[in-house]
């Protein structure tokens, strides 16, 4: 009689606070997929687990640090980037990842986002973009497409959304990519890649929020949105010559391509605090 | 060659600079701020000095980013500070609550100017003192000190770091434009005489089920694990249990918030500072703090010279409020006068502890309250008896 092989422990178990399960996320939510990619990338990174720090703001995506068995900081709405900046600058040996939502990072925290990119602080940002505020029940956000319905735009959104990759490239991020939750492998690969890429890096992951953006815009199931990604995603050519920045604007409600891929991968001096160790200092006092 | 961290010796020093030197002497190695009059000299001197001593200076995009950056730096184990004035202090309020909830020590200096709003950027005020205590939402407790001289800008900044670290709370140095911009003698002691209270740190190794928010000692302060030490701790502004895990129950919430408030109450004696002048036989007690206390001291001297038994209780810690000496003075005093450069803030606290008439000498800010209106209030009480009310001080 053959014996069943029973795995006593999943390789990612040590990275997850299993005592915190079940999580709060809805069925069909995309956030968990990205959390898993992050955990896998940590495992493969060769960087000791103790050196990984995860920081978030507030929102559904921002709950991720609570489930990761790492030094984890769940800060206030919009503020993970400046928190991570302070932490990283005093302990540069740590690998500091900001894991948060599009509203958190681009609305209330938008100013911190562009300034950290401009400075090129060495922090890794993973942004879950579900085109709305999930946690508070599906309100309009800075990524909600023009005309889309949400609970606070019942007649359609009168505002233009941000085009994340374009914004981050302009602000100075040294690495910018976009994937969706069907691109688990690419997301993991990019997280891993950015661990070894000094500077401010930004990975946008489009993710279903079936109870929020989905419900208001006739994408009722998470899996339906996954199929939609699968049908429409196209890999970007070189921006802007082959794929213009404008083509990166996303509207799930329209039958047009969703452009994914790596858009920026550059070298730029990383922000380092001024040190006088090697320079002669003017005598004082 | 690196710069000296502690500028031991006698100096003729600017208040904001003395604050900077106090911070560096206390071991502050991270400063994040955003320029604002009248605190900017602190940032400027930090920008000069921190690189000399191996520290980090960063000018952030606003004061919200500044307070977050210092909380982050402190979470990683570095003594960290920011300095601002009213408008920036207001921007920091939400995240004072974050530092309280995460129990991450930080020091914030507010060099107060005339307010509200943009107010009087270059002129003094003392109208943020209640904001320091109550400005963030919810129940919490912090410590706040009011220096009255450049020397105290140094000394109280050192104390602020020690109290913050020892009790894991945000501590504020509530200076004012007069003291911040005053140049006076400042004595910086040798290194071994600069007090240092350490953070309580975990004593068990990470594997042994360290519970980061379990306060086992009577002081209610749990040991603090820093980022990167292997404890894999979760910090959140959400209500959390002893493991640091979010717990949305009323019971856990009550237990946590009560401990955070009680932690300060129980350790208040270690935080409270005050000073008395001529209080032994005082029948009329003036209460004041910061730059206004300088005028108050002169006023009670003048009153004494005229034969009036007046004394001064100078509040050095505004929060926790020195209620004990006040209760004791209530046994002998006939009236209290509270002189402050606002329209009546700390007077509310005084009124909570004494049954005698409490008279305010107030001015909305813009110039120091001179000794004269304080003396007038003393004389009036002495000759005509106490009359409850707030007096307008004409600032010179
Ligand atoms: C200062 C402040 N304002 C508002 C809120 C309420 N709030 C919590 S989460 C959230 C939006 C989160 O949206 P997003 O960042 O897109 O994350 P998601 O929940 O979609 O993952 C808001 C507005 C808050 N917590 N703090
Ligand atoms: S509300 Fe949306 S983002 Fe939040 S857990 Fe549910 S599906 Fe996910």
> Each residue of B287-309: pLDDT tens digit?
999 999 999 999 999 999 999 99
Question: HSE of A186 in the Cβ direction (CA atoms, 13 Å)?
Answer: 16
Question: Which of A70, A89, A285 is opposite residue B232, by nearest beta carbon?
Answer: A70
pLDDT tens digit string along B348-374? Answer: 999 999 999 999 999 999 999 999 999
For residue A283, the model assigns a pLDDT of 42
Question: What is the C-alpha to C-alpha distance for residues B332 and B279, in angstroms, rounded to an integer?
Answer: 10
Q: Is-contact A166 A143, C-beta < 8 A? A: no
User: B68 vs A94: CB contact, 8 Å cut-off?
Assistant: no
pLDDT of residue A280: 47
- The CATH number assigned to the domain holding A219 equals 3.40.50.970
On whether any CB of chain A is under 8 Å from the CB of B247, the answer is no
According to the model, what pLDDT value does residue A284 have?
42
Q: Is B71 on the interface with A (CB under 8 A)?
A: yes
Q: Are A76 and B2 within 8 A, CB to CB?
A: no
User: B320: distance to nearest CA of chain A, Å?
Assistant: 26
> Are B228 and A71 an interchain contact pair (Cβ–Cβ within 8 Å)?
yes
Q: What is the pLDDT of residue A143?
A: 98
Looking at domain B9-193, what is its CATH homologous superfamily? Thiamin diphosphate (ThDP)-binding fold, Pyr/PP domains (3.40.50.970)
Q: Is the dihedral of CA B325, B328, B330, B333 positive or negative?
A: negative
- B277-395 has which fold? Rossmann fold (3.40.50)
- For B57, which residue in chain A has the nearest alpha carbon? A273
The tokens for B382 are 């002495």
Q: Mean pLDDT of all residues in chain B? A: 96
CB contact under 8 A, A50 and B230: yes
Which of A17, A83, A111 lies closest to B62 in CB terms?
A111
Q: Tell me the CA distances in angstroms from B85 to A43, B110, B136, one per residue in order.
A: 45, 5, 16
Asked if the Cβ–Cβ distance from B228 to A66 is below 8 Å, we say no
Residues in chain A within 8 Å Cβ distance of B228 = 50-51, 53, 71, 91, 93-94
- Interface mutation vs chain B, best among A24, A42, A55, A87, most B CBs within 10 Å: A87
Q: Is the CB of A134 within 6 Å of ligand 2?
A: yes
A189 lines ligand 1 (CB under 6 A): no
* Residue B386 pLDDT: 66
For residue B1, what pLDDT band results from cuts at 50, 70 and 90? very low
* Ligand 2 atom, smallest distance to A208 CA: 7
Rounded-to-integer distance, Cα B376 and Cα B396, Å: 14
Q: How sure is the predictor about B314, in pLDDT bands with cuts at 50, 70 and 90?
A: very high
Burial label, B330 (beta-carbon count in 10 A; 0-12, 13-18, 19+): middle
- Say yes or no for a CB contact (<8 Å) between A85 and B65: yes
- Outline which parts of chain B fall under CATH 3.40.50.970: 9-193
- Check pocket membership of A34 for ligand 2, CB cut-off 6 A: no
Chain A residues near residue B70 by CB distance under 8 angstroms? 86
CB A99 less than 6 A from any atom of ligand 1: no
Q: Is residue A5 part of a domain?
A: no
Q: Cβ contacts (< 8 Å) between B24 and chain A: which residues?
A: none
CA of B201 to the centre of ligand 1 (A): 33
Ligand nearest to the CA of B95: 1
A115 to chain B, any CB pair closer than 8 A? The answer is: yes
Question: Contact B228/A91, CB-based, under 8 Å?
Answer: yes
Ligand 1 mutation target, pool A26, A32, A56, A59, most atoms within 8 A of CB:
A59
Write the residue in A69, A115, A276 that is nearest to B2 by C-beta.
A276
Whether the CB of A47 is below 8 Å from some CB of chain B: the reply is no
Do the domain assignments include residue A84? yes
**Residue A55 in contact with partner chain B when CB distance is under 8 A:** yes
User: B68–A70: do the CB atoms touch at under 8 Å?
Assistant: no
A52: nearest CA in chain B? Answer: B228
- CA distance, residue B173 to nearest chain A CA (Å): 21
Return the bridge partners of A119, or none: none
In a domain, A229, yes or no: yes
Please give, rounded to a whole number of angstroms, the shortest distance from the CA of A46 to a CA of chain B: 16
| Residues B60, B33: Cα–Cα separation, whole Å | 6
**Local mean pLDDT, 10-residue blocks, chain A (285 residues):** 74 95 97 98 98 98 98 98 98 98 98 98 98 98 98 98 98 98 98 98 98 96 97 96 97 96 98 77 43
Ligand nearest to the CA of A32: 2
Q: Which chain B residues touch A113 with a CB distance below 8 Å?
A: none
Q: Which residues span the domain enclosing A131? A: 10-283
Tokens of B51: 């690189």
Interface test with B, best of A14, A21, A90, A105 (most B CBs within 10 A): A90
The answer to whether the Cβ–Cβ distance between A86 and B32 falls below 8 Å is yes
The predicted pLDDT at position A282 comes to: 47
Task: List the single residue in B1, B102, B229 with the smallest CB-CB distance to A281.
Answer: B1
B158 at A interface, C-beta within 8 A: no
Q: Please classify residue B74 by burial: count the beta carbons closer than 10 Å to its beta carbon, then call 0-12 exposed, 13-18 middle and 19+ buried.
A: buried
Q: Which one of the ligands is nearest to A214 CA? A: 2
Would residue A266 count as lying in a domain? yes
Distance CA B295, CA B372 (A): 8
Candidates A70, A71, A107, A284: best to mutate against B (most CBs of B within 10 A) is A71
Mean pLDDT, rounded, for B21-39: 98
Nearest to B42 by CA among B150, B169, B195: B150
pLDDT at site A281: 47
Question: What's the pLDDT score for residue B294?
Answer: 98
pLDDT at residue number B385? 78
What would the pLDDT profile of B198-244 be if each residue is shown by its tens digit?
Answer: 999 999 999 888 999 999 999 999 999 999 999 999 999 999 999 99
Answer whether residue A3 is part of any domain. Answer: no
Beta bridge partners of A194: none
Model confidence over B128-175: pLDDT tens digits?
Answer: 999 999 999 999 999 999 999 999 999 999 999 999 999 999 999 999
| 8 Å CB contact between A172 and A251 | no
Please indicate whether residue A104, judged by its CB atom, sits closer than 6 Å to ligand 1.
yes
Span B267-287, average pLDDT: 98
Shortest CA gap B130–chain A (Å): 23
Count up the domains in chain A and report the number.
Answer: 1
Please work out whether the CB of residue A128 comes within 6 Å of at least one atom of ligand 1.
yes
A258 lines ligand 2 (CB under 6 A): no
- Whether B77 has its CB under 8 Å from any CB of chain A: the answer is yes
DSSP string for chain A: -PPPP--SS-TTGGGB-GGG-S-SPPTT-SHHHHHHHHHHHHHHH-S-GGGEEEEE-SSSGGGHHHHBSSEEEE-STT-HHHHHHHHHHH-TTSEEEEEEEHHIIIIITHHHHHHHHHHT-S-EEEEEE-SSBTTTTSB--TTSPTT--BTTBTT---SPPP-HHHHHHHHT-SEEEEEETT-HHHHHHHHHHHHTS-S-EEEEEE---IIIIIHHTT--SHHHHHHHHHHHEEE--STTTTS-GGGG---TTSSS-EEEEEEEE---PPP-----TTSPPPP--
Contacts of residue B1 in chain A, CB cutoff 8 Å?
280-281, 283
A2 in any annotated domain = no
């Amino acid at each position: 009689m053959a014996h069943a092989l029973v795995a006593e422990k999943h390789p990612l178990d040590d990275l997850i606070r299993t005592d915190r399960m079940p999580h709060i996320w809805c069925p069909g939510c995309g956030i968990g997929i990205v959390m898993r990619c992050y955990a896998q990338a940590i495992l493969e990174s060769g960087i000791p687990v103790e050196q990984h720090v995860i920081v978030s703001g507030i929102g559904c995506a921002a709950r991720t640090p609570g489930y990761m068995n790492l030094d984890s900081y769940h800060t206030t709405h919009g503020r993970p980037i400046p928190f991570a900046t302070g932490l990283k600058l005093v302990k540069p040996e740590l690998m500091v990842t900001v894991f948060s939502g599009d509203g958190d990072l681009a609305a209330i925290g938008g100013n911190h986002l562009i300034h950290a990119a401009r400075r090129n602080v060495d922090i890794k940002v993973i942004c879950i973009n579900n085109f709305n505020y999930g946690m508070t029940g599906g309100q309009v956000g800075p990524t909600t497409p023009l005309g889309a319905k949400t609970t606070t735009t019942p007649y359609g959104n009168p505002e233009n959304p941000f085009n994340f990759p374009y914004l981050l490239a302009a602000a100075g991020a040294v690495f910018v990519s976009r994937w969706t939750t069907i691109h688990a492998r690419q997301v993991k690969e990019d997280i891993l890649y950015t661990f070894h890429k000094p500077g401010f890096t930004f990975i946008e992951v489009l993710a279903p929020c079936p109870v929020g953006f989905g419900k208001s815009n006739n994408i009722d199931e998470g899996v339906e949105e996954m199929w939609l990604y699968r049908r429409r995603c196209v890999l970007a050519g070189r921006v802007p010559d082959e794929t213009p920045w404008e083509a990166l604007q996303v509207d799930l409600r329209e039958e047009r391509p969703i452009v994914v891929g790596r858009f920026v991968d550059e070298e730029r001096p990383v922000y380092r605090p001024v040190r006088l160790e090697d320079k002669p200092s003017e005598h004082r006092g | 060659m690196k710069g000296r961290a502690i500028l031991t010796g006698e100096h003729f020093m600017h208040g904001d600079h003395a604050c900077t030197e106090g911070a560096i002497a206390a071991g502050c190695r991270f400063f994040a701020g955003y320029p604002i009059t009248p605190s900017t000299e602190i940032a400027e001197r930090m920008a000069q000095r921190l690189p000399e001593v191996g520290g980090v200076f960063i000018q952030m995009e606003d004061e919200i980013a500044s307070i977050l950056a210092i909380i982050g730096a402190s979470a990683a184990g570095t003594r960290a500070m920011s300095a601002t004035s009213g408008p920036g202090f207001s921007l920091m309020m939400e995240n004072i609550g974050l530092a309280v909830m995460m129990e991450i020590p930080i020091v914030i200096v507010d060099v107060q100017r005339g307010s509200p709003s943009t107010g009087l950027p270059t002129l003094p005020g003392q109208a943020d003192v209640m904001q320091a205590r109550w400005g963030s939402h919810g129940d919490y407790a912090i410590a706040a000190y009011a220096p009255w001289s450049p020397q105290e800008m140094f000394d109280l900044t050192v104390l602020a770091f020690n109290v913050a670290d020892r009790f894991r709370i945000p501590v504020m140095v509530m200076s004012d434009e007069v003291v911040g911009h005053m140049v006076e003698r400042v004595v910086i002691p040798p290194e071994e005489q600069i007090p240092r209270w350490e953070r309580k740190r975990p004593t068990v190794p990470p594997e042994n089920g360290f519970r980061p928010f379990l306060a086992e000692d009577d002081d209610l302060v749990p040991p603090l694990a820093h980022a990167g030490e292997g404890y894999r701790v979760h910090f959140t502004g959400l209500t959390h249990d002893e493991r640091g895990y979010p717990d949305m129950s009323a019971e856990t919430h009550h237990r946590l918030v009560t401990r955070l408030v009680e932690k300060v109450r129980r350790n208040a004696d270690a935080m409270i500072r005050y000073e008395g002048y001529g209080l032994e036989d005082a029948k009329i007690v003036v209460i004041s703090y910061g730059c206004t206390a300088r005028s108050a001291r002169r006023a009670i001297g003048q009153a004494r010279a005229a034969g009036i038994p007046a004394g001064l209780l100078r509040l050095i810690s505004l929060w926790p409020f020195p209620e004990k000496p006040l209760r004791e003075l209530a046994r002998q005093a006939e009236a209290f006068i509270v002189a402050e450069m606002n329209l009546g803030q700390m007077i509310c606290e005084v009124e909570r502890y004494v049954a005698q008439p409490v008279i305010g000498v107030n001015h909305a800010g813009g110039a120091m309250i001179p000794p004269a209106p304080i003396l007038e209030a003393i004389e009036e009480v002495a000759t005509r008896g106490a009359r409850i009310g707030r007096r307008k001080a004409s600032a010179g």
